[in-house]
Each structure stands twice: as structure tokens, then as C-alpha cells.
């Protein structure tokens, strides 16, 4: 009998009861705006910022409307101007180059390796082309951050880390988002904490933090923040910085605070599922599992594998066969953007030469969400289905070649 997976790849776990109760409290008093507080009250958003800063070991934290807004704000706070080149990954999602293009700046794409991380040789070659790197830890894969920072420090490049997929992860024990000058995180539904939309910006730089607070639309209420620089940091900045409103509200903050407190537990649960899937896929003919470095502490909220050098039609056959059995896979090798997948040559607001080595890797990347609503037994079943369908198509390739 052919096994079928009947679960959902988009169903998240419920918001924790503590978050629901906190949200109801906010709804009952009606003070949703972060600066609308009663006498002596500290807003949920200010408390969340303080708690998230402590969780990642940052001096300053700003809660905002989305991860994309956090990245655009970081770029503005670092002084990126229209026309400026900004280095970024060829393998990423649309909000990353979109944050660059939204400022009128120009993305300069850096290649991807078979480890699905930024190509440090290509970065070294392009280091003289820009003064800012918007580094995407795409799908949770973290490169050698010590080597990357050495390249960037030597070239005078400021690093902004896009940690949408690495909240709770680390390199050599340093939390993701804490190697560069600024770390940006997402709280969108499919990320590691869920408020529907939302994001964080963290930094140890008081000038960058002050500019970000003003950009977010603090008016002159920055002293109500618990994780912002002292008021002296705003002395000149408050007159020079435009208001581009993108604050987080107290309702989302109330939902998020219990999730931030429980992040380590949730990350461990994701990793249990990831490693179960990984074990089930290892040894599949024609399929390459991505080995993770010992220095990397992962959060396995999604899993990727490579069908390297496969014909496009054969990859499509694998996806279709898995879909017939209830397993939803995404492919980064399609010539047209589809759903959440796109590639550097999809974003036509940025001119870039073709990168054959990266094209080869992108053509083989297959991607799958791993929601916590999956049981470990679900992961075993999903791995068996993928293994069987990849094997079946691979066998036809081998037969045709004989």
C-alpha cells in the first residue's frame, strides 16, 4: 500500500495560553499603540524589547512591524543612500534585495556554495564594490562567520545580518545577529516566534540604535524605551532623522513575550524533527544532504537537500510525485518565481551578470518547511516518501543512461 502524508505544511501551533491571556488583557484595556500607556505603566512592546535584547545579548533592541522593515531601517541607519551598492546573497528571499531596492540602492549579489551559504571567495572578490553587506542566513544556514567578519573588517564593510531563519541559532556560540553591526529578525507566522507579522532590530551601536528608534516613529517618546540608548544619543539625531513609521504594537508584543521566553525549548523541538528527517534522507541515491558544520548551532525549522546536476524535468517529476503523496516541496531552480521561491535573476530591478556556479547550486535546491505540528513519526513518513520518489526518478535516469 502506498503511504500518503495527510498533514499540513502551513499549520502552526496555537499561540501559547500565556500569550492569549496577555493579548486579551491588551484588548480589554484598548491601549494597543506602544506609546499609549497609563500612569506608571510600561508597555508590552518596551518589555519585549528588553527581553529580546537580553535573550541575544544585545545592548539595544527595537521591535518593528516586520523583518523587512527592520532590514530597511538598518540600511537607513547605516547611511545607505540611493544609488549605493549593497552586497547581498544570490540565494535568499525577495524581502532582502527588496529592502535594498526600496531605498533606491543597488543589490550586488554574492554567490552561493553547495553548503547553501554565501560564497566567501566571491565575497572577497567583490569586497571593494560596497561598504555594506546585507547578509542573509538563508533557510537557517550560517557560513563561517569568523572568516566572513575578517573579510568585511579588512575591507571596511559594515555587516547587517538577516536572521529571519536563524533566531535562536549561533555560530561558535555567538547568537545569530551578533557578529555584525546590526541583527534583524522576523516574527512572521512561519518564523521561530509568531505574531503574524513583526520584527526586531538589535545592535550595540548607540548611534545606529537611536537612528532606528527615530526612523520607526518614536516622535520624541524615545525615553519610554527600555532597550534604547540614553537620551543623550538622540540629542542631534532627533532633528535629522525622518519618521518612517513602522512600530510594533502592544498586541503583537503581548503575543510574543511568552514565545521569546520559551524559544530555546521550541528550537530543540525543531531540531528533533530536522534530525529525524535528515537521518531518513541520508543515503538516498542522487540526493545530497547538507552537512552542517560543528561550529553551527542550528534551528531546523526547514530542511533542504540538493538534486545536483539533475535535469529540470526530473526535478519537477520528483516534486509532482511527492505532492501526489501529500509532501509539499519547493524548488529554487525554476525559471520563474513561484510562491515564496525566487532567485537573484528574478529581481529585475537589479542588474547582475549570470553566476554559473551559483546557478548550478540553485538549480538543485529543494526546500521543505518543518512545522512543529509534525510529529516525529510524521517526519519518518515524509522522509520515506521523499526517499522513494527521488529513488524512483533517479532509477529511470540510470536506466535511460544505460
Tens of pLDDT, residues 85-118: 999 999 999 999 999 999 999 999 999 999 999 9
Q: Does the structure show a pLDDT above 70 at 66?
A: yes
* Most distant CA atoms of the chain, gap in Å: 80
Q: Tell me the pLDDT of the chain averaged across its residues.
A: 96
Q: What is the pLDDT of residues 126-152, one digit of tens each?
A: 999 999 999 999 999 999 999 999 999
Q: How many CB atoms lie within 10 A of CB 59?
A: 14
Question: β-strands 170-171, 296-297: how paired?
Answer: antiparallel
Across the range 252-279, mean pLDDT stands at 98
Q: What is the pLDDT of residues 182-235, one digit of tens each?
A: 999 999 999 999 999 999 999 999 999 999 999 999 999 999 999 999 999 999
Q: Does the structure show a pLDDT above 70 at 330?
A: yes
* Alpha carbon distance 97, 26 (integer Å): 35
Q: Which domains does the chain have, with CATH numbers?
A: 17-261 (3.40.640.10), 263-401 (3.90.1150.10)
| Predicted local confidence at residue 345, as pLDDT | 87
Angle between helices 206-215 and 67-77 (to 10 degrees): 120
| Predicted local confidence at residue 351, as pLDDT | 82
Question: β-strands 106-110, 85-89: how paired?
Answer: parallel
Burial of residue 168 (number of CB atoms within 10 Å: 0-12, 13-18, 19+): buried
Across the range 255-274, mean pLDDT stands at 98
- When pLDDT is cut at 50, 70 and 90, the band that residue 262 belongs to is very high
CA angle 94, 342, 339 (to 5 degrees): 90
Q: Does the structure show a pLDDT above 90 at 350?
A: no
Across the range 316-327, mean pLDDT stands at 97
| Conformational region of residue 323, where left means phi above 0, alpha means psi within -120 to 50, and beta covers everything else | alpha
Amino acid at each position: 500500500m502506498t503511504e500518503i502524508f495527510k498533514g499540513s505544511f502551513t499549520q502552526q501551533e496555537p499561540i501559547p495560553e500565556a500569550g492569549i491571556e496577555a493579548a486579551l488583557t491588551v484588548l480589554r484595556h484598548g491601549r494597543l499603540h506602544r506609546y499609549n500607556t497609563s500612569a506608571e505603566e510600561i508597555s508590552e512592546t518596551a518589555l519585549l524589547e528588553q527581553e529580546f535584547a537580553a535573550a541575544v545579548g544585545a545592548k539595544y533592541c527595537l521591535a518593528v512591524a516586520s523583518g523587512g522593515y527592520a532590514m530597511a531601517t538598518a540600511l537607513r541607519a547605516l547611511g545607505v543612500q540611493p544609488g549605493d551598492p549593497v552586497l547581498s546573497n544570490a540565494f535568499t528571499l525577495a524581502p532582502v534585495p527588496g529592502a535594498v531596492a526600496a531605498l533606491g540602492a543597488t543589490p550586488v549579489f554574492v554567490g552561493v556554495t553547495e553548503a547553501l551559504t554565501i560564497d566567501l571567495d566571491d565575497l572577497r572578490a567583490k569586497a571593494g564594490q560596497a561598504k555594506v553587506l546585507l547578509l542573509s542566513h538563508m533557510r537557517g544556514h550560517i557560513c563561517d562567520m569568523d572568516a566572513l567578519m575578517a573579510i568585511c573588517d579588512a575591507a571596511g564593510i559594515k555587516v547587517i545580518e538577516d536572521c529571519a531563519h536563524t533566531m535562536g541559532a549561533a555560530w561558535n556560540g555567538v547568537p545569530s545577529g551578533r557578529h555584525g553591526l546590526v541583527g534583524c529578525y522576523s516574527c512572521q507566522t512561519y518564523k521561530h516566534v509568531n505574531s503574524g507579522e513583526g520584527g526586531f532590530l538589535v545592535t550595540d551601536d548607540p548611534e545606529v540604535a537611536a537612528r532606528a528608534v527615530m526612523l520607526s516613529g518614536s516622535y520624541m517618546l524615545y525615553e519610554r524605551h527600555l532597550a534604547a540608548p540614553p537620551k543623550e544619543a538622540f540629542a542631534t539625531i532627533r532633528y535629522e532623522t525622518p519618521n518612517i513609521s513602522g512600530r510594533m504594537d502592544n498586541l503583537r508584543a503581548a503575543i510574543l513575550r511568552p514565545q521569546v521566553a520559551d524559544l530555546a525549548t521550541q528550537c530543540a523541538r525543531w531540531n528533533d524533527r530536522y534530525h529525524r528527517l535528515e537521518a531518513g534522507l541520508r543515503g538516498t541515491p542522487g540526493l545530497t544532504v547538507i552537512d552542517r558544520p560543528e561550529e553551527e548551532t542550528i534551528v531546523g525549522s526547514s530542511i533542504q537537500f540538493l538534486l545536483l546536476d539533475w535535469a529540470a524535468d526530473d526535478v519537477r517529476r520528483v516534486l509532482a510525485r511527492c505532492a501526489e503523496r501529500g509532501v509539499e516541496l519547493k524548488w529554487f531552480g525554476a525559471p520563474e518565481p513561484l510562491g515564496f521561491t525566487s532567485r537573484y535573476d528574478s529581481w529585475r530591478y537589479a542588474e547582475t551578470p549570470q553566476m554559473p556556479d551559483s546557478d548550478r547550486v540553485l538549480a538543485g535546491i529543494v526546500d521543505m518547511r518543518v512545522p512543529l505540528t509534525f510529529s516525529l513519526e510524521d517526519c519518518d513518513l515524509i522522509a520515506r516518501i521523499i526517499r522513494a520518489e527521488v529513488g524512483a526518478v533517479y532509477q529511470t535516469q540510470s536506466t535511460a543512461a544505460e
